[in-house]
Amino acid sequence: MMSTDPLWYKDAVFYEIPVKAYADGNGDGIGDFQGLIGKLDYLEWLGVDCIWLLPFYPSPLRDDGYDVADFLTVAEQYGTFQDVKRLLDEAHRRGIRVIVDLVLNHTSDRHAWFQESRQSPQSSKRGFYVWSETDRKYEKARIIFIDTEKSNWTWDPEAKAFYWHRFFSHQPDLNYANPEVQQAMLDTMTFWLDQGLDGFRCDAVPYLFEREGTICENLPETHDYLKNIRRRIDASYQGRILLAEANQWPTDVRPYFGDGDEFHMAFHFPLMPRLYMGVRSETRDPIIDMFTHTPEIPPNCQWCLFLRNHDELTLEMCSGEERDYMYYTYARDPSMRRNIGIGRRLAPLLDNDRRKIELLHSLVFTLPGSPIIYYGDEIGMGDNIKLKDRDGVRTPMQWTMDRNAGFSGCDPAQLYLPVVADAVYGYQAVNVESQKEAPHSLLQWMKRMISVRKRFPAFGRGTITFLRPANGKVLAYLRRYDDVVLLLVHNLAESSQAVELDLTAFAGTTPMEVLGEARFPTVTERSYVLTLAPYGYYWLDLTLTPSDGAYGIEQMVL
C-alpha cells in the first residue's frame, strides 16, 4: 500500500486540494473533511500518492485561509480535529499521504498574538511582529500583491506604530529575529506532525527574516532557521517532507535544498510559464533554457512540477518581454490579470484544446521532478474571471451533472462560490461522473498516464539529456536510470512535424511506445526519423532488443 521508501516523494504524484472547494459533507455549501474523506476512493482510483491540503485553520478568510488566526485548531466549517485524524487514517489506508500548508511568514491580524502585540510596547507579544516608527525601512523589498498594496508597512492606530507585511496589510509578518517566534512556529510544526501528517507545503519561505540594505528575500538567517526545522524532522519524524514555496530563480531556489538538509522539495516556479511559452511560440528554447539554468540538486531532493495552482499563474519569474508575451497571448482581456500574473485555469488557458492539455501534462509527467495536479484540472475544469481576487480558480469541484455539480446538496445561493455553469466548462458538460463513463475522456487519460508513469522510476529519479534536433519545434530528451533509457518526444507545434534524431548510441534497439505498447522501427546507424501529429508526443522505451519487442510466438525475421 503506502510505500515505505523514505524517498517516496521522488516518485510520487501530488494533488492539491482546498478542503473548502472539494466536497461538502454536511450540506452547508462549504467543502469539509467529511466530504473529502468521501472522495478518497476517487483519488486512489486516479493514482494520487500524496494530497496537499490548503490552510484549514480558523481564519477571517480575507486571504482564503492563508490569513491564519489560530495555527493549532481546525476551522469549524471544515470539521473537527477528529475529522482530520479520520482523514489521515482513511488516506493512509489507501496508500495516500497528506501534507498541509504551514504558513510560517505571517498571521492574520485576528491572531491572538497580533491582538496582544498591538496593545502596547510592553506587551509580551510585542516582539512577535515587526514594528517601526517609520515606514522608510527595508525599502528595497518589493511589493508582492501590487493589485491591493501600496507599501509593505501599515500604520496601526492602536499600536501607534507601523507593522511590516509582505502580503496583504491584514497579514502582519512574524518577527523571526525573535527566538520566541522561532520556537512557537517549531512547536506549531511538531504539533501537526504528532497528529500523523506526512509533511508540509511551506508557504512564502523566502520572506521570514528582514535585514536593512537587502531585498529581504532568501537571507542566510532564513536558511539557518529552515535548516533548524529540517533537523527537527530528521530527528523525530522520518519520512515526512518539507516542500518549499519559493517563487524565485532556480539559482535562488537551489539554497533551499541546502546539502540535502533543508527542504526535500521545492516547486519549480520559473519553468511553469515557459511551458506555456514553448507551446504558444512553437519553440523548445524557453524550456531547454530553463533547464540550462536549473542547477543540480542533492540526491535526496526533488523538484515539484506544476501547470496551475490556487494562485494566479505567476509571471514574477519572467523578464518584462516574456511577461508582455504571456499577457498578450494568454490574458488579452485585462480582467484575466491578477497581480503579476493570470487568474485562469489550465483548460481555458489552452483554449480547451485536449491536445495541448495532454502535451503540457506529458511534459510535467516526464521532466525531472514530481508532478502536482491542481484539483479539477484532471477533468479540464474552467474558471470564472468575474470573481474577485483568485476566487475564479477556486470554484466547487465538479463531480456530477446534478445540482451544484454534486459538490453540495445545499440551496445554490448558499454555496461559498458559484459553480462554473457556462456552456463549455459548466458542470453539465465537465464533471467526474461523465468522464469516468467515457473511456477516452481527459480524466481516463490522466489516470492512464499516471499509472504508466509509475512503471518507470526514471521519471522521478533519472538523469536528463536534451537532444537538439534541427527541428526546433520538437522537444526531445532522454531520461536514464539504472539500465532503463526513455526517450520523450514532444511536438510543440500546431502542425504535424518530422524530426531526425541522432540515436546512434542506441543502434540495434527497438523503441517501444509505452503508452500503447507499440513497437517502433529499430534504431540504426542512420538518423532516426519520427513524425508527430500536431501537439503529439511519444514516450519511448529504448531498452528493448528487437526480440523483446516481438509479439506472440512468431519468429521475427530480421
Question: Catalytic: 389?
Answer: no
Distance CA 547, CA 544 (A): 8
Cβ 144 to ligand GLC shortest distance, Å: 8
Of 16, 83, 245, 358, catalytic: 245
Indicate which of ligand GLC, Ca ion, none lies near residue 203 (CB less than 5 to 8 Å, by partner kind). ligand GLC
Indicate which of Ca ion, ligand GLC, none lies near residue 430 (CB less than 5 to 8 Å, by partner kind). none
x/- mask, ligand GLC, residues 91-110, rule CB under 6 A, reads ------------x-------
Nearer to ligand GLC, 210 or 311 (CB): 311
Backbone phi, psi, residue 277, to 5°: -65, -45
- Listed in order, strand segments (DSSP E) in 169-315 are 199-203, 241-244, 265-267, 302-306, 313-314
Cross-strand bridge partners of residue 479? 464, 486
Indicate which of ligand GLC, Ca ion, none lies near residue 63 (CB less than 5 to 8 Å, by partner kind). ligand GLC
Q: Kindly state whether residue 203 participates in binding ligand GLC, applying the rule CB under 6 A.
A: yes
Which three three-digit cell numbers place residue 62? 480575507
x/- mask, ligand GLC, residues 232-251, rule CB under 6 A, reads -------------x------
Q: Kindly state whether residue 66 participates in binding ligand GLC, applying the rule CB under 6 A.
A: yes
Indicate which of ligand GLC, Ca ion, none lies near residue 33 (CB less than 5 to 8 Å, by partner kind). none
Cβ 165 to ligand GLC shortest distance, Å: 10
Q: Kindly state whether residue 12 participates in binding ligand GLC, applying the rule CB under 6 A.
A: no
Which three three-digit cell numbers place residue 96? 495516500
Distances (CA, A) of 24 to 68, 409, 452: 22, 8, 32
Question: Catalytic: 203?
Answer: yes
- From the list 325, 327, 321, 330, the residue with the least C-alpha distance to 340 is 327
Cβ 357 to ligand GLC shortest distance, Å: 23
Of 83, 101, 203, 217, catalytic: 203
**Which spans of this chain sit near Ca ion (rule: CB under 5 A)?**
24, 26, 28, 30, 32
Distances (CA, A) of 14 to 17, 267, 308, 370: 10, 12, 13, 7
Q: How many CB atoms lie within 10 A of CB 349?
A: 23
Cross-strand bridge partners of residue 540? 487, 513
Distance CA 80, CA 187 (A): 20
Angle (nearest 5°) at CA 367 between 364 and 368: 115
Shortest Cβ contact with ligand GLC: which residue?
Answer: 66
Indicate which of Ca ion, ligand GLC, none lies near residue 28 (CB less than 5 to 8 Å, by partner kind). Ca ion
Q: How many CB atoms lie within 10 A of CB 516?
A: 9
Q: Kindly state whether residue 63 participates in binding ligand GLC, applying the rule CB under 6 A.
A: yes
Q: Kindly state whether residue 204 participates in binding ligand GLC, applying the rule CB under 6 A.
A: yes
Q: Kindly state whether residue 311 participates in binding ligand GLC, applying the rule CB under 6 A.
A: yes
Residues that bind ligand GLC (CB under 6 A): 63, 66, 103, 167, 203-204, 245, 310-311
Q: List active site positions.
A: 203, 245
